[in-house]
A and B are shown apart, each in its own frame.
Chain A
Amino acid sequence: MVDGKEQINRVKTRVIMGRTVHEDDLIKYGLMAVASLAVVIVLGIIGLIAEGSMMAVRDIGLWNFLNGDVWRPHREQYGAYHLIVGTLLVTIGAIVIALPLGLGAAIFISELAPKRYREPLKLVSEVFSGIPSVVYGFFGLVVLVPFLLNNVPGATAGQSWLAGSILLGIMALPTIISVAEDAISSVPTSYREASLAMGATRWQTTSRVVVPAAISGISAATILGIGRAMGETMAVLMVTGNAPIFPEPLTNLMSPIRTITATIAMEMKEVAYGTTHFSALFLLALVLFVIVLLVNTISRVIMRRMREKFNPTKPPKIRSERFIVVQEKAAHMFQLVRYAVMMGVIWVIVELWFGADAAMGAVIAVIVLIIVTRYTDPRWNQRLAHGILSLVMLVVVGLLLIIITDIVSNGLPALSAEFISEFPSQGGRGGGIYPAILGTLKLVIGTIVIAVPIGVVSGIYLSEYAKDTRWTNFIRGGIDNLAGTPSVVFGLFGMAAFVIYFDFGVSLLAGWLTLSCLILPVIVRTTEEAVKRVPKELKEASLALGATKWETITKVVLPAAFPGVITGTILSIGRAAGETAPIMFTAVVAYQTRLGDFSVTDPVMALPYHLYFLATEVPDAYDNQYATALVLLIIVLSIYAAATFLRYHYSKKINW
């Protein structure tokens, strides 16, 4: 008994170099060291990109770069204007498609769907998000592009702005659906009850109370969707036609177009180290990074203002009558603008397929509908609205089914045991993809070993130890931004740093390091969030019993945060397995007929790149293309399924 008491009372200190140090402090410094590594990487990436673009800034001039509308690198003309516009246009198009569909699906799932269908539907949208972008690109190339070519009147080519936006829209859907659905179902039931108790229909409640109350989450969803679309590389590379021009006229959706990301990906391999062209690509990456940074900042500002609206921490500012009147007028105007935009979009889309007359008809029909619903019985309106929402959900599910069915039905026949175990032959038309599968596995395992420990430790440090200073907030901001940075930027960074500067060459090692940088910010962030979500009452209870901070973390916090951490990690791994751009110039080679001894300085084949290679450079490889796509799909979706299963399993055990 006495022994135990002594144990409890013993202050946990060690003597190091003659000074007494508390155990907790030791650990804190240890963690800080590891977290600093993450910081170094973050800063390093930003720094290198910036530094790499300096030459271009000097030689070309920033204004000329941004404003010039001719991009012909071999003629030393570096005007990125069309590229920037191309990125924006494709993104806008994607959002125009994804926002209504995504929001509609989110509303359907959280408000309309019977309870037992909610989880399965959310699962469907999550499956969407697991599909690698190169698979989307492949589908786009092989199915969407010919479809557009044959069905849009007057189209001369299928690869176009429209194809890119459609594909990007589909790719942004899962993000928008999941975040928006979360936001909508988090709206307290008490609001719904209050509205219903006043005689509102369910649709009136949804549209006038619930959705406006969730607007901050919905905005966040939109902006995350925008970020996703802007950073997309492979899909747009494969289906937009890649002509760095301005659509003529602006509403010509079938015009080819080129994005910044596609440019970087395409030209990276032709470029020589140290040239202006090389630096120009870095400058492009920097511009993209800045745009994404701007988008994220705007989203954070919006979120903060929305939060103030809901949980005011300061007393409200009393505004003058005139201000309120002006504010109301502005709100009205905003409404009108929204309607105008909607009309414009409807016009453009209908006009493309059916001509100007039909477009006019469609716009008028919609206007009439809107006016009529103002006067009809709310119950009819509800039926109409619910019908439209159901249709939207059907479309979303249908899109997923089309893509998956296409790949499975075409890939399955071509799949065989030989395919998985043989080397490629005939330039890829024949044989199997054994080295690609192996290569992907090697890449993934190495990346896990490097990125996960650093990421998890840094996440713990940031959430439990770091104080709320300007420095740590800067770091957090940097990590957040990097988490949203397009993967092609990482590819560029990896190439410059690991392949060239450290002279690892195109190799497995360079691939590991690049992919680790890619997923590190995400792991840090998901770890931090998972740890933060552990209720502080648990931590306090542990500390109140006399546990040290580190004991509390290892015995209480981490076990509780484990599901979140694991899920985030697995999702990152899925991403690493499916990404093409980061490995395109750092690790992969297109064709290997045999494997030598294992060496980290050798390049490898990898499934995502192999698919891209087959799809864009190997004609008559139909079977192998589909089979490769199927194998990649299966691997990545299995990883996502594992993560989802784990999350579901743990969420049943732990209820806060």
Chain B
Amino acid sequence: MIKMSTNVIEIKGLNLWYGENQALHDVNMQVKRNSITALIGPSGCGKSTLLRSINRMNDIIDGCRVEGDIMFQDKNILAPETDVMALRKKIGMIFQKPNPFPMSIKDNVTYGPRLHGVTDRESLDRLVEECINKSALWSEVQDRLGTSAMSLSGGQQQRLCIARALSVNPEVILMDEPTSALDPIATNKIEDLAQELKKDYTVVIVTHNMQQASRISDYTGFMYMGKLIEFDETEKIFENPSEELTERYITGRFG
């Protein structure tokens, strides 16, 4: 049964508190299938917090409280009975600083499938090749899958992390400032990769680099002080935003 609704994720009335501080105020947003949605805004505006709410990674932070709905596959993933482990299989995450495990390249990619019970050597090998291929890394590592992932460059490590995220066959890929720690050439490769990935997956990317958002995303959301100020097609946001706050941020008049 394939749901072909255009909205993969619908966020309704999301409020979030870290202890006493409210970090997200009544956020409403829809993420469209097979698109790249970018979240921009000044530091501390809540964009990473919003991203991490989508795969419930905020759960590991003490004192974090959430209200509202996040609909994914017809279910509210914030409901207490949600199988968070299974959710994270379908919504993967790439972090700002590349964080491959201190294992071999191959073991990094097979970690996820192994977690969920896959043991057949051949299927694992095939999966490894497929995922590393999809992250445009195969030609660089195909003859050294057994070597440590730590011996790769920063950009390669990040692509390996993407391959690792793909290994559990997600629907959505969340990227939290994936290129801030990388040089321009590596950044370029990751951006091209994101464009490729959106054909089969849906991508939500948090970035503090507006040029990056304008380069690669289809939709952009501008956040400020925990509120989603404006959300629209990227071209509209960067050519002629509706909100004055958005315009001021984009033209660099604050932040």
Q: Which residues of A approach B to under 8 Å, CB–CB?
A: 115, 188, 190-191, 193-201, 204, 208-209, 212-213, 309-312, 315-319, 324, 327, 378-379
Contact = CB atoms under 8 A, between A and B. Distances in A.
B227 interface: no
Interface string B129-153: 0000000000000011011101100
B150 A310 contact: yes
A199 B111 CA distance: 11
Given A200-B115, A324-B146, A315 B88 contact: no
B97 A198 contact: no
B33 interface: no
A496 to B, nearest CB: 48
A379 B84 CA distance: 11
A381 to B, nearest CB: 11
Contacts, number: 85
A105 to B, nearest CB: 23
A295 B97 CA distance: 38
A310 B85 CA distance: 28
Interface string B111-137: 110011000000000000000000000
Contact of B144 (A197, A213, A318): A318
B46 interface: no
Nearest to B115: A200
B165 A198 contact: yes
Given A188-B99, A309-B102, A310-B102, A197 B150 contact: no
A208 B111 CA distance: 9
B161 interface: yes
A204 B57 contact: no
Nearest to B105: A316
B77 interface: no
Given A198-B168, A204-B115, A213-B101, A190 B95 contact: yes
A311 B95 contact: no
Interface residues of B, number: 34
Nearest to A200: B115
Given A309-B148, A315-B151, A194 B85 contact: no
A188 B101 CA distance: 10
B156 interface: no
B79 interface: no
B92 interface: yes
A318 B143 contact: yes
Contacts of B92: 197-198
Contact of B112 (A115, A190, A199, A318): A199
27 contacts: A191-B102, A194-B95, A194-B161, A196-B57, A197-B55, A197-B93, A198-B89, A198-B164, A198-B168, A199-B84, A199-B85, A199-B88, A199-B89, A199-B112, A199-B115, A199-B168, A208-B111, A208-B115, A209-B101, A311-B150, A315-B151, A316-B147, A317-B147, A318-B143, A318-B147, A324-B146, A379-B85
A198 B88 contact: yes
A-B pairs with lowest CB-CB distance, top 5: A316-B147, A190-B99, A199-B88, A197-B93, A312-B151
B172 to A, nearest CB: 12
